[in-house]
Amino acid sequence: MGTAYTPGLKVSSDATVDKIRRLPVKGAVLVKVGDVVQPDTVVARAELPGDLEIVRLAERMSVDADELRGHVKVQVGQTVEKGQLLAEVSGFFGLFRTEARAPCAGKVDYLTDITGHLGIRKAPVPIEINAYVRGTVKEILEGDGVIVRARGAFIQGIFGVGGERQGEIRMVCSSPDEVLTADKVPPDCAGIVLVGGSLVESAALKRAAERKATAIVVGGILDQDLRAYLGYDLGVAVTGDENVPLTLILTEGFGSIRMAERTFKLLQSLQGRGASVNGATQIRAGAMRPEIIVPQLSGPNHLDDAAVAKTGAGMLEPARRSARSAIPILESWAK
């Protein structure tokens, strides 16, 4: 028998969800309050400092560090190209010459007389964050990001792996207790969120990945099949950053567990609709659950905060337990 535990997970056909989209460093916000955004709309952009390449000039030139500056051909703050001359020392009568050239392109970050080292900062790495869901920009987090408000169906799972993805919902099982086997994975499932029943088999996961499905939403999975999919045992308390080809969301737990009727029927009613999914899960403090968000096709997304407090809570699915609780499994995984 499978192991199920549902600690007040939200399952709602009409919820209002605020998603915080935050940069890891200070940057520029590219939208304004009231803008309607799509999942792939870039809402903020920043640059991470490039790597620092250290050139040991004094050692390379065979001179004392405090004598180096008279031989350096570049200045701090100057942009250099790969192979550009950095320093040069001439020998007797100019017959012998030692030189050092830039190992990479970038900007001269520093030159120190203590060690005789010169640092070249490589080009910054641009980073962007998108809206993730279709909705309306509710609030600007100055220099950090935005809050996007979406209204529509909202379903939380108990556990997931894989990060944020988007795709069209397609049912591949006709009942909540049906097993998702490899033969049920359609050949044309690229970019699709596949919804199964009680269990997804390892072969089905592999085939869906090969056919470039976006995600699988299902009741449960066997422990060994999850291990085989990831290629290792989970040893962290937060998921979502795994290098996996598709996102997996379990609505019930581990093992073969019939998907809750309400959840299954809601997903059935959403077939053909675009969804934003995220398998990120955190079990302990600051609990975070995997989610499926399907925004409304039309109508207002920007509601007042009172409405969010009312509809954002969603409808709670009654807890369903098997002969043994899933808490020990999840807690041991989180250690």
- pLDDT mean across residues, the chain: 87
CB 15 within 8 A of CB 83: no
For residues 269-292, average pLDDT: 90
The dihedrals phi and psi of 15, each to the nearest 5 degrees, come to -125, 155
Q: Rounded to whole angstroms, how far apart are CA atoms 194 and 301?
A: 26
Q: Rounded to whole angstroms, how far apart are CA atoms 129 and 145?
A: 8
The answer on pLDDT for 312 being more than 60 is no
pLDDT tens per residue across span 102-160: 999 999 999 999 999 999 999 999 999 999 999 999 999 999 999 999 999 999 999 99
CB 303 within 8 A of CB 34: no
Q: Which of 49, 18, 240, 239 is nearest to 145 (CA)?
A: 18
pLDDT tens per residue across span 11-52: 999 999 999 999 999 999 999 999 999 999 999 999 999 999
Distances (CA, A) of 106 to 52, 57, 88, 119, 194: 9, 16, 19, 10, 46
Token pair for 286: 């600051």
Q: Which residues pair with 154 in a beta bridge?
A: 12, 293
Q: Is the pTM of this model over 0.85?
A: no
Distances (CA, A) of 146 to 125, 126, 294, 324: 21, 18, 20, 42
Q: Is 216 helix (H, G, I), strand (E, B) or coil?
A: strand
pLDDT score for 189: 97
